[in-house]
Copies of this chain bind each other. A is one copy, B any other.
Amino acid sequence: MKYDYIKTVKQKNPLVHNITNYVTVNDCANILLGLGASPIMADDIGEVEEIVSISNALVINIGTLNDRTIASMIQAGKKANEKNIPVILDPVGAGASKLRTDTTFRLLKELKFSVIRGNSSEIKTVYYGSGTSKGVDADSADIITEDNIENVISYAKALANQSGAIIAITGAIDIVADSKKAYVIRNGHPLMSKITGTGCMLTSILGAMCGANQDSMLDATAAGVCAMGISGEVAAERMEKYQAGTSSLKMYLIDTMSTMEEELYQSRARFDVI
């Protein structure tokens, strides 16, 4: 899980097509640029096939989904599948409403995903078919701890096997798994939950990581998750050092991702392979 996967993004400058929510979209675009990728946001059904065709990855985020954009997600995703362009899913709030849960299953049925990233409640909903969420946050009963981690890895691998996608479950501890191998990542900081969009930004970054490293998507996804956790750690340290608040935290997080060099990455990345 080397820094090389990040370096590849800086070299290849992948174009990442995002069909995403209007809450965190600006941060997603800026963190992609910071990392070295190029973002494009386009959600009209009249152009998504064309836009995705010139892109290196497609990110589908259902954060503020509606009928119009769901149709665009399907159409863009089909074209991406046809052209073998990696598609990343962020099932924001799956479990919180029937629309979100049903849309997630519809997307999973009609499209093939390279990566599915969510919090533990969202991914449990995807795996078990139903679940609970506290809005767009994980239900406290679903938090990944050292005690339940074996179980989480096990359903992550099972879901990877069933869906063919890499599964990324993020929270206090992060899991990135395919059907055989799982990374357990212990980067990040609790303060990250005090800003909106850390999940969405990570999902967009995974688009860049997979778009630039299509032959090593599991490792590249894990590297992206590490990089996000490291950015959160550095940001939280700066916030505390300067006695700042959560808006500074968000700025420091994107700042750190935009200056993520090999030394910082290698000295901070904390993961096990299981």
Contacts and interface: CB of A to CB of B under 8 A. Distances in A.
Interface of A: 15, 17, 21-27, 29-30, 33-34, 38-44, 46-47, 50-51, 54-55, 63-68, 93, 96-100, 134-137, 193-197, 243-248, 250-259
Nearest to A100: B47
Q: Which 10 A-B pairs have the closest CB atoms?
A: A245-B255, A247-B254, A245-B258, A40-B135, A47-B99, A47-B97, A29-B196, A246-B258, A44-B66, A247-B251
A7 B243 CA distance: 20
Determine the main DSSP class of A at the interface with B. mixed
B38 A135 contact: yes
A80 to B, nearest CB: 15
With a 10 A CB-CB cut-off, give which of A25, A51, A246 has the most chain B CB atoms. A246
A33 to B, nearest CB: 5
A133 B257 CA distance: 26
Contacts of A259: 243, 245
Nearest to A70: B44
A58 B201 CA distance: 26
Contacts of A97: 42, 46-47, 50-51
A248 B244 contact: no
14 contacts: A21-B41, A22-B25, A23-B29, A26-B197, A34-B245, A40-B96, A43-B66, A44-B65, A44-B66, A46-B67, A47-B99, A51-B96, A243-B259, A247-B250
A253 B258 CA distance: 16
Nearest to A33: B194
Contacts of A253: 247
Given A44-B66, A54-B134, 9 more contacts: A24-B29, A38-B135, A46-B67, A47-B100, A50-B97, A50-B98, A245-B259, A247-B251, A247-B255
A243 B197 CA distance: 24
